[in-house]
Structure 1
Amino acid sequence: MTILEMLVSNAGPAILAGFAACVCLLVYRVVYLALYHPFAKYPGPVLARFTNLYGAYHAWKGDIHLDMHRCHLKYDIYGHGAPVRKFPGYQALSSHAANTLTMSDKVQHALRRRVLSQAFSESSLRMLEPAIRSRVDRFFTDLAFDLMTAVTFDMDYDTIQEPRFRYVVEAIEASNIRLGVLIQASGLSFRGLDKLLFPDSAKAAARFVKFLRRLLHERLQREKTDGRDIFSFLQRCKDPDTGNGLSPRDISSETATFIVAGSDTTSTTLASLAHYLTGSSRCYRRAAEEVRTTFASVDEIHFGPKLNSCIFLRACLDEAMRITPPGGASLWREVEHQGAVIDGDFVPAGYEVGCSIYAMHRSPKNWEDADRFFPERWIERSKMTVGQRQPYFPFNIGPRSCVGKPLALAEVMLTFARLLWEFDFRRAHDDEMWWAADDVDQAEYVLKDHVTGQKEGPLLCFRPRI
């Protein structure tokens, strides 16, 4: 007797009817997704037609940006005036108060951004500069975390010298694995399934939240006006039109985002720029000469016109972020009620659309010799009109672009100007005279994409300039 015959003989009519209904619904769903869904006409992986778990799997592996680049046979990006809004799936990144990263409502986001942008103005950056300069001799992952806790909360955890709090950086990276999967398949959060699937990541998130609550509690004990940090600034600043400020809950949510986004992405950019500079003797020599001829002493290296005049160093930074963006996967947006026309095709309301930053930056349709680290292209690009320029948006574009972009760029420029002025450095396995050799094709600095990039290396040797 076959299994089907056993089911028929032992099951009641109601069970059989229910089973048949489930099979019919499944067949209907598969046929609809394969042939009649609004996105059915677009090419792509077969499995991705039927389940968001395809994206969740690659988010878990950390290669979702690479897979999007491989699959990017047809793509376009909405302008910020298009009828789309922030994809609700990003709410997985903030379980309490919404912040500028997770808000779907455009009006609320615009009001919040107007307040926050005051904290990253030219005058505000000068206020934060002493905290950055005093820590600029610390490197990469720990440096970026120490910088963000310093400028956001005026607290020094000194994770390069003191190992006690290094677990926080590790906890951020580990917790992002689960969050990256939830952005691709938010249904996995049903009844806490995500915590069962990713227990280590969930525990890491709990450790980070515990640390953050402690940090916020300590910072809230201070008077509003006694600190020269972003937290104090947000306590004081008001919307210029409405006069409204931010609630303590809003400030806590925003500053928590600054710590995660600011430290993670900045450390990735520091590491990738170090990788590409030490992989190109030509670029290293030119960047070092530019810095060492621009500044007469290390005391001159600070925010301002001289640092901004290091055009080639900035070109190297832009090129590193083009080839290896800190967050390379799609930034999903939900189409609003009127639908949207993207690249000539109508997309109904309620569907998610996005464009992979990594794929856009590495497309040969957009960039000549797209896989090559060639900073000189940025010097030519600066002479182009906006309409002539190739697409480049490591900080996103439009009203949803990163509000902390000026701070991030200033931190990296200041750090590398100081490093190039004070040290000669190389990869650990290279000869001391590597910089005198001819350039060779270098490997990409490969990241794992878990909301933001996770990295290994580079391992460098430093020696003071003679």
Structure 2
Amino acid sequence: MMEALHYLLPTSLTGVILLGTTLLFLSLLLSSLYNLHLHPLRSFPGPLLHRASLFPYLYHQLTGRLPYTVHTLHRQYGPIVRISPNSLSFSDPQAWKDIYGHRAHGEEEFAKPRVFYRLKTIPPSLLSETRENHSTLRRLMAHGFSERSMRAQEGLIGGYVDELVRGLKRHCFGAPGQQEGEEGKEEGGKEGKKKVAQNMVAWYNWTTFDVIGDLAFGEPFGCLEKAEYDPWVDAIGKSIRFGSVLLAIRLLGLEDWVMPVLRRLSDRSRRFHLRRTMDKLERRVNLKMERPDFLEGLLRKREEWGMDMQRLAANASLLIVAGSETTATLLSGATYLLLKHPEAMKKLTEEVRSTFKSDEEITLSSVNSLEYMLACLNEAMRHYPPVPIGMPRVVPKGGAKVAGTFVPQGTVVAVWQWATNHNEQHFTKPFEYHPERWMHDPQFAGDRLDAVQPFVIGPRNCLGKNLAYAEMRLILAKVIYNFDMQLADPSKDWLDQQIFTLWDKHPLPVYLTPVQRNGV
């Protein structure tokens, strides 16, 4: 018996490699056959390779093209597509309510799959908490995001927006924000000074990061003051692309093997990030005054709820990214789309400059009257959603109906925002920018505006919706009131970007001309 076993086992390195390769191939083959013919989702449509294996999904994710691929698949296969062996994408607007909406009493929610939302070594935050803990955290933090709180913070937010305007006026004929190699162009009436293209992506990011830094930590990052990224903020931006790699590692079940190596390789940057976060958090905790910001509710109940500094830091870091990056992304997209559509920009400019007679009149409250601006922002969110991916959920035990179709338990489901927002079944001219579709224009009467849900819906919808709308309206109104704008390179398609959970944005170089009023 032992002799027979010895005969079957490989006796060289080449043999070991050959045996391992053969076993891996057989494992993948059997897995693919199961996924195609025995899996509970075998009857759902989708391309053969996506139904058979996770690898096509990961390939498109790592190349930054997955949301575009999902859109193409919906055009080929309809409103429900199997995009990986255990994942379905829905483009039916009803799916928003079925997947993310409030469930009837006693019904289990579509939970967030841990593999998509949480690393094992990082404490949970509002984004990744269980249903019960999420409800508690949300109640504690909700006051800081209320309309009342926004009004109380109006001076703070408005101060940073005014600093943005001053910075743009200083530098639109100067250096910071200038694109590398950009020489600018001559501008008459400015004593021979050259107009320099300003990277509006950077300026918007600097503004929103400073605002959210003050609202979360009690102090800004100083981005606007220095007209440059704080190293901590810059590190956050650079980590977004790497997030797709980490997700792929987790989806392949390799987290326990690979993450210790990655942590050692990135130990220095991780310690820098943690130290900066803790320093800022400790200064906020030690403030001896109450302020209606985002952490005040958590700090009041910190001891009662047993929340240590690590969990506070996890939630503060989440607020920094979610409360700044997405708002700056939308403002960048809206600016580009308006500049590419002069009629829309002209109409919006007339609305802003006819409504307000001075900078002081432009406030968080007064910008709510700008109806066409709201339409422009809503259309920008449809065309260029700040979070273009699908937010995955897991079908609860016993299965559930989504958009009228029964889906087995354990299936990962999502509505992919970019794909749904560009679906020809829901929108007239979906790849064109038309703010009028949000203003009851008969040409767009058949549009399914309920398909556009940039803040998601239900119990886990975006807590920062009020802040996002307030910031977007105020910043865009102030910029349009004070400047005429022109794309530095109108021939470049700025929207042609990769997506790694969030957009991997290009610089957006724009020439700005300060508006002259009363001879000033």
TM-score range, shorter chain: 0.7 to 0.9
Q: 2:361 aligns with which of 268, 291, 300?
A: 300
- The residue number in structure 1 matching 2:49 is 47
SS of corresponding position for 2:486 = strand
- The residue number in structure 2 matching 1:284 is 345
1:209 correspondence with 2:274: yes
Contact in 2 for aligned 1:395/1:402 (Cα 8 Å): yes
Using the alignment, how far apart are the partners of 1:145 and 1:359 within structure 2?
A: 29
Contact in 1 for aligned 2:208/2:324 (Cα 8 Å): yes
- The residue number in structure 2 matching 1:107 is 132
Q: Deviations over 1:373-419 (max 9, x none)?
A: 0001111189x99x964311111111111101110111111001111
Using the alignment, how far apart are the partners of 1:406 and 1:316 within structure 2?
A: 17
- The residue number in structure 2 matching 1:274 is 335
Report the more deviating stretch, 290-299 or 192-201: 192-201
Q: What letter is aligned with 2:352?
A: V
1:411 correspondence with 2:476: no
Change (3 A) 1:246 1:123: farther
Contact in 2 for aligned 1:174/1:205 (Cα 8 Å): no
Contact in 2 for aligned 1:62/1:448 (Cα 8 Å): yes
Deviation at 1:428, TM superposition (A): 1.9
Contact in 1 for aligned 2:140/2:297 (Cα 8 Å): no
1:251 correspondence with 2:253: no
Contact in 2 for aligned 1:55/1:185 (Cα 8 Å): no
Report the more deviating stretch, 450-459 or 258-267: 450-459
- The residue number in structure 1 matching 2:509 is 459
Give the 5 Å matches for 1:231-250: 231-236=295-300, 247-249=307-309, 250=311
Using the alignment, how far apart are the partners of 2:114 and 2:157 within structure 1?
A: 35
Report the more deviating stretch, 326-335 or 109-118: 109-118
Q: 1:153 aligns with which of 198, 217, 235?
A: 217
Q: Deviations over 1:328-387 (max 9, x none)?
A: 1111111222212224443222221112111111101111110110001111189x99x9
Deviation at 1:46, TM superposition (A): 3.4
- The residue number in structure 1 matching 2:182 is none
TM-score (norm 1): 0.84
1:445 correspondence with 2:487: no
Using the alignment, how far apart are the partners of 2:8 and 2:505 within structure 1?
A: 55
Using the alignment, how far apart are the partners of 2:204 and 2:338 within structure 1?
A: 14
Change (3 A) 1:147 1:9: closer
Using the alignment, how far apart are the partners of 1:179 and 1:381 within structure 2?
A: 41
Change (3 A) 1:26 1:251: closer
Contact in 2 for aligned 1:182/1:188 (Cα 8 Å): no
Deviation at 1:164, TM superposition (A): 7.4
Q: Deviations over 1:86-141 (max 9, x none)?
A: 121234368433222112x3233223222222211111001222221111143212
Change (3 A) 1:359 1:18: closer
Give the 5 Å matches for 1:174-185: 174-183=238-247
Contact in 1 for aligned 2:249/2:258 (Cα 8 Å): no
Report the more deviating stretch, 200-209 or 271-280: 200-209
Q: 1:168 aligns with which of 217, 222, 232?
A: 232
Aligned-pair identity in percent equals 25
- The residue number in structure 1 matching 2:453 is 393
Q: What letter is aligned with 1:253?
A: A
Deviation at 1:52, TM superposition (A): 3.0
- The residue number in structure 2 matching 1:438 is none
Change (3 A) 1:317 1:20: closer
SS of corresponding position for 1:84 = coil
Q: 1:92 aligns with which of 115, 118, 139?
A: 118
Report the more deviating stretch, 256-265 or 209-218: 209-218
Change (3 A) 1:52 1:217: farther
Change (3 A) 1:339 1:316: same
Which consecutive residues of structure 2, in runs of 5 or more, have no partner in the other structure? Answer: 1-6, 81-89, 104-108, 165-202
- The residue number in structure 2 matching 1:71 is 73
Change (3 A) 1:331 1:19: closer
Give the 5 Å matches for 1:212-223: 212-223=277-288
Contact in 1 for aligned 2:497/2:503 (Cα 8 Å): yes
- The residue number in structure 2 matching 1:131 is 156
Q: How many aligned residue pairs are there? A: 440
1:30 correspondence with 2:56: no
- The residue number in structure 1 matching 2:293 is 229
Which consecutive residues of structure 1, in runs of 5 or more, have no partner in the other structure? Answer: 1-6, 431-440
Superposition RMSD on alpha carbons, in Å?
3.4
Deviation at 1:292, TM superposition (A): 1.0
Deviation at 1:222, TM superposition (A): 2.1
Contact in 2 for aligned 1:176/1:201 (Cα 8 Å): no
Using the alignment, how far apart are the partners of 1:201 and 1:364 within structure 2?
A: 44
Using the alignment, how far apart are the partners of 2:20 and 2:353 within structure 1?
A: 77
Q: What letter is aligned with 2:314?
A: S
Report the more deviating stretch, 282-291 or 165-174: 165-174
Deviation at 1:426, TM superposition (A): 1.4
Using the alignment, how far apart are the partners of 2:354 and 2:475 within structure 1?
A: 17
